[in-house]
Amino acid sequence: MSDPTSKALFARAKELMPGGVNSPVRAFRAVGGEPVFFREARGAWLVGADGARYVDCVGSWGPAILGHADARVVEAVQQAAARGLSFGAPSELEITFAERVRELYPSVEMMRAVSSGTEACMAALRVARGATGRDVIVKFEGCYHGHADALLVKAGSGLATFGVPDSAGVPERAAAATVTLPYNDQAALEALFATRGHELAAVIVEPVVGNMGCVPPAPGFLEAIVRLSDEHGTVSIFDEVMTGCRVARGGAQERFGLRPAMTCLGKVIGGGKPLAAYGGRRALMEQVAPLGPVYQAGTLSGNPVSVSAGLATIAQLTPELYAHLEAMGARLEAGLVEGARAAGVAATVQRVGSMLTLFFVDGGVRSWADADRSDRARFGRWHAGLLSRGVYWPPSQFEAAFLSREHGVDEIDRVVAASAAAMRELG
């Protein structure tokens, strides 16, 4: 690595944190080399510890839809912090936030704020089990819903990156009630409901997968999840932690015209602060304590500083923003495709709005089996080529890249040029 400052910081970090990082995918093991440490982020750019600048295509893994350090968000956070960092008691901000979420997601009649996507998904599944009196949950290969025990079964994200199908430390009995199906396999889903529909408490899905790379749903697949779940008294859960307010203002359910029974949100709705939420039909959410028997709590849930960042972000999610994101996403997609074609490199770009992935695989990716064919070594070399040219891309073949309002033609064309050069070096 050419950055001596990051190298020194990483050496210190490895003495104090597992792998030197606080989240596995940051460690760069999937692409080789060592991670870049950053000291500042503004707009569409990151500044490394040594002062080098990078066009950011990670966006804090999705939340930075407005770009980094947006003035209105920063001001809202400063004002909220001056009034108190945490109350541990109700505030009007929480009500306003819930009202805004319900405006964006009509399927969310009631909600509960939490601090992370993992919490949101874990709680939603607990509600589903409590409301139905059933134990079995269904998830899809390559979909990651946080690190709760029952969900670390053929998950995506860092687990896909490192080729680990399950996590050590998870008792077999914790995962025994989790059934995993191939993503986009409607026939397998229908067959499961036909034989075990009476056992299924919930079906949870990333409506557009981002944790095995960007994989859109096949026509009819999401519709089948909602329909079959309703028919069998099962709770359909859209994990929109990544897609929420990203692929459309109202997330994937707005984009595809669907209303699941429950929704999990995070990332964009928190404006870069630790904030997430789960919610859904009133009858389900009334099962949550103190109204019902399903217990869930959190000391920092609805934190006033985080909620203020979320509200300031949501207020700026305009039709013009999404038109810009669509245009820049299309420009980047076309440029990446052309760069790979010109270099004679087999690659596929998949995009939904402003989230996209370049897979080093020939042909479309519809499932984890398709994604798993990607040339990881070639991706690692391409990633290094981008980094050396001032582009920060997700350090994993199986993570989506994200654009922001601050990505303009200049930034997109820099990424395209860097990719084309890196592709030529692959040979």
Domains of the chain: 4-69+318-426 (3.90.1150.10), 71-314 (3.40.640.10)
Averaged confidence pLDDT in the chain: 93
H or E element, residue 46: strand 45-48
Rounded to an integer, what is the distance from CA 271 to the centroid of its chain?
14
Q: What is the pLDDT of residue 100?
A: 98
pLDDT on residue 1: 44
* Structure confidence at residue 150 (pLDDT): 66
- Which among 159-163, 405-409, 423-427 has the top mean pLDDT? 405-409
State the pLDDT confidence band at 250, using cuts at 50, 70 and 90.
very high
Is the separation of the CB atoms in 409 and 331 below 8 Å? Answer: yes
How far apart CA 198 and CA 9 sit, in angstroms, is 54
Active site residues: 144, 239, 267
Q: Which helix (H) or strand (E) holds 264?
A: strand 262-265
What does pTM read for this prediction? 0.93
Which residue, 407, 393, 322, 405, is CA-closest to 359? 393
The answer on pLDDT for 345 being more than 50 is yes
Q: How confident is the model at residue 158 (pLDDT cuts 50, 70, 90)?
A: very low
Q: How many CA atoms lie within 13 A of 102 on its CB side?
A: 13
| Distance of alpha carbon 256 from the chain centroid | 18
User: Which of 72-76, 156-160, 229-233, 302-306 shows the lowest mean pLDDT across its residues?
Assistant: 156-160
- Per DSSP (E only), the strands in 132-241 are 136-140, 178-181, 200-205, 235-240
pLDDT of 4 > 90? The answer is no
